[in-house]
Chains A and B, each alone.
Chain A
Amino acid sequence: MLPFRHRHLLGIEGFSPDEITTILDLAEGHVEPNRQADKKRSVMRGRTIINLFFENSTRTRTSFELAGKRLGGDVINMSVSGSSIKKGETMIDTAMTLNAMHPDVLVVRHPESGAVQLLSEKVNCAVINAGDGSHEHPTQALLDALTIRRRKGGLSGLVVAICGDILHSRVARSNIQLLNIMGARVRLVAPRTLLPAEAERLGVEVFHDMRRGLKDVDIVMMLRLQTERMHGSFVPSTREYFHFFGLDYDKLAVAKPDALIMHPGPMNRGVEIDSEVADDIDRSVIRHQVEMGVAVRMACLELLTRDLGNGPAIP
C-alpha cells in the first residue's frame, strides 16, 4: 500500500516526505505515456471531476482537464467568477449544488486564502486546491519538485532561491513547505515591500539583493509580478524592478553553472525575467514544468479517487 492518508489535497503543509515521494513516483510513471500517441488510460473511468474556478485561469484549469481526461474520467469546467456569484449565490451553496450531482473530485481555485478548505468541509467528494488566495498551490509545488528531481536526481541538499513577489504568492508558500520537507535549503530574494512579515520564520534565508541571494544556488525560481503591483504601490516601476530583481545573465552568473531556471508562468518578459534567459534551452526548464504539471495532476487525481467507494446518498 502506498503511503498516502489524505482525503483532500488542500496544501503541502502536513505532508510527509514519503507521501510527497509517492506522488512524485506515481507522476513519474505518467510522463512517458503522456508523450505517446495514445494517452488514454482507464483508472478514472466513470469518475466525474469538476473544475470549479472562482478565479480566472487557463493554464492550471487546462492541465487538470487534460489530466482527468487522460485517466478516462469525465471532466467539466465551471467558471464561477462570472455567473452564480452575480446572482448572489454563496460559494458554499455553489459547492453544495455541485456536490448533489455526485462528482468524485472538485478541483477548486478561489481568490481568498482558506476558501478551498472551507468548501472541502461542506462536500463529500475529494477536493484538490488549485490555488487559494496567497495561501497554497500544492500541485504547482509538486510539479516543480518533479521537474527538479528529474534534472537533479533529488531534492535533498539543493539550494533553491525563490525570487520576486513572495508576499502575494501561493506558489512560494507551497514551495517553501515542500522544499523544506524534502531537505532542500530555501532562500527568498525580494524587495522588502514584497516580503511578508517574519518571512525568515518559515525556515528560509531572506535576501534583498539578487547577487547575494543567487550565490551558488542550484535552482532559481522566479515568481510573476502582477501588473497592478508594478506602478508605485509595491515597486516603483517595471524598469527599476527589472534592474534590481529581474533575472538576467548578469545576476545569474553567481549561481552554480548548472543552475536551473524555473517560473510558474505566465511570465512577464522584461519584468521579472529576461527573455533570453527564459528561453535558454540549457538553463530554463519552464516548458518542462508545464509538461510535468499534467503528470503530477494525474497522480493526484488517481491517489485521491483510488479508495473512494460510492458516495453516500444525499437525504
Chain B
Amino acid sequence: MSATLFRNARLLDPASGRDETGAILVVDGLIAALDGGGVPSGTTVIDCGGHCLAPGIVDMRVQLREPGAEHMENMVSASHAAAAGGVTTMAALPNTEPPIDDVALVDFVARRARDIGLVNIHTYAAATKGLKGRELTEMGLLAEAGALGFTDGIRAIADALVMRRALSYARTFDLLLIQHPEEPSLAAGGAMTEGEMATRLGLPGITPAAEVMMVERDLRLVEITGARYHAAHVSTAAAIEAIRGAKQRGLPVTCDTNETAVGEYRTFAKLSPPLRSEWDRRAVVDGLRDGTIDAIASDHAPHDQDSKRLPFTSAESGIIGLETLLPLSLELYHNGHLPLISLLRALTCAPADILRLPVGRLATGAPADFVVFDLDRPWQIAEDDFRSKSKNSPFDGRPVQGRAIKTIVGGRVVYDSKD
C-alpha cells in the first residue's frame, strides 16, 4: 500500500461545489479521504503551500499525430506537455495516418498510453471509414475496444444521410457522436472568417454562417434519431444560440469551445474554426456562463514549421494548446467573466461526464488525478519552454496569470514545476 497526503491546499471540486482549505489522502492511486481523519503510518506528506488543488484537466479534444506524423508530436511528447499543463486526461482525435477506424488501432493507442504511463490517453474513433464521410465504421466493436466517441476529426460529416445513419447507428449502442461543425462547401478554400479583416488582407473568407448551418442541420437529425451529439469548438453567437435552444428542448446535445485570440497575418493564428469577431467571442463567454457551452478544450493541433511557414492560405490550421489551456482559461476568471468553480467545471467534470469517464472530480474512490496550481502567479508564455514537439502557438510572449505547480495522475506526481 502506498499513501500520500496532499495537505494545506485550497480544494476546488466543481462537481460538488467544494471550495475550502483542506487535505486529500491518496491510497493506491485512489482518493481515500478528503477531510483529514486518520492517516496511515508511513504516509508521504506533500505540502501544497496553500495553492489550489483541483481535479486534473480533462482535455476532450487533442490531436496527438501518432501514428503517422510523429515528427510533429507523439504520445510521449504530448503526455509531457499535458502533464506540464495540468491535463491528466486527453481524448485524441482519430485523424492520424492511418486514421483510427479499426479496433487494432484503438488497441494500439491504449497499449501506447499504458506503456508511457504519464497521463490518461483515450481515443475517439472515426465515424466513417477512412474519415471519408461515406461508410460507417464498426462503432459497436470500436466502443467495446475503448473508443470514447465517434467523429471524423477535423472534417465535418457533410452528407446528411450519412450523418443521420451515423447518429441512428450510434444511438443503437448509446454512443457519442462528435461533429466538426462547418458546412464544408462554404468553407472550401477559405482561410479566415469573412469580414473586414479578410477583405483588407485579401484572403478568402469563410462565412461564420457555415458553423450554425451545420449545427442546425445536425440538431434536426438529433431530433429524429435521439442520439447523443457533441458540437466541437463552437465559436459563433448563432451556433451557441441554436444549441441553447436545443438544450431547452431537452435534446441530448453538448458542446465545447477553445481558447483563441485575435492575431494578424501570422499563420500561427490560422485556426479551424477561424478566429471570430468580438461579438462572437462575447457570445462564447455568455455561453460558458449560462452553461450552454459545457466544456473548454485545447484543440491541441501540432504542426511542424514546414506546415506553417507558408503563405496564409496554404498553411495548415490549428495551434498547440495543452500547455496554455489552463492559463488562458484562467483569463476568464481573472477578467471577472466567470467564477473560478464554473471555469474549472468546464475543464474537468463537465467533459468527463460527456465522455462518461469516472475522472474530473475530487471524490472518495475516484482516481487521484489532480492539479495543484498557483492561481495568481504571473508569467510569460515562451515557445522555447514547450514540451510539445511542435511550437505553433500564437501566444508566444503573452503575459498570463496562473500556472500548474504539480500534476498528479493516479496518485503519482507526473509533473513538478520545481524539477
A→B interface (CB under 8 Å)? 191-193, 208, 231-237, 239-240, 243-244
Contact = CB atoms under 8 A, between A and B. Distances in A.
Most chain A beta carbons < 10 A, residue from B135, B168, B172: B172
Contact of A192 (B128, B134, B141, B172): B172
Contacts of B128: 232
B165 interface: yes
B140 A232 contact: no
Contacts, number: 46
B135 A191 contact: no
A293 to B, nearest CB: 33
B169 interface: yes
B139 interface: yes
Interface residues of B, number: 17
Nearest to A231: B135
Interface string B156-189: 0000000001001101110000000000000000
A236 B171 contact: no
A235 B138 CA distance: 8
A232 B129 contact: yes
B8 interface: no
Interface in B74-96: none
B326 interface: no
Nearest to A195: B168
Most chain A beta carbons < 10 A, residue from B128, B134, B173: B173
B172 A240 contact: no
B329 interface: no
B169 A243 contact: no
Most chain B beta carbons < 10 A, residue from A231, A237, A239: A237
A192 B136 contact: no
B169 A191 contact: yes
B138 A193 contact: no
A239 B173 CA distance: 16
B225 interface: yes
Contacts of A244: 140, 173
Nearest to B129: A232
17 contacts: A192-B168, A192-B169, A192-B172, A192-B225, A193-B168, A193-B169, A208-B172, A232-B128, A233-B135, A236-B136, A236-B139, A236-B140, A237-B138, A239-B138, A240-B138, A243-B141, A244-B140
A239 B140 CA distance: 11
Nearest to B144: A243
B260 interface: no
B272 interface: no
A231 B136 CA distance: 8
A232 B135 CA distance: 4
A16 B172 CA distance: 35
Given A192-B169, A244-B140, A236 B225 contact: no
A110 B173 CA distance: 35
Contacts of B135: 231-233, 236
A192 B167 CA distance: 9
A23 B168 CA distance: 40
Interface string B128-156: 11000011111111000000000000000
B408 to A, nearest CB: 38
Nearest to B224: A197
B129 A240 contact: no
Contacts of B168: 192-193
A236 B138 contact: yes
Given A192-B225, A193-B165, A236 B137 contact: yes
Contacts of B136: 193, 232-233, 235-236
B134 A240 contact: no
Given A232-B128, A232-B129, A240-B141, 18 more contacts: A192-B168, A192-B169, A192-B171, A192-B225, A193-B169, A208-B173, A231-B135, A232-B134, A232-B135, A232-B137, A233-B135, A234-B165, A236-B140, A236-B169, A237-B138, A239-B138, A244-B140, A244-B173
Given A192-B225, A231-B135, A232-B136, A239 B171 contact: no
Contacts of A233: 135-136, 165
B219 to A, nearest CB: 18
Contacts of A235: 136, 169
Most chain B beta carbons < 10 A, residue from A232, A239, A244: A232
Nearest to B134: A232
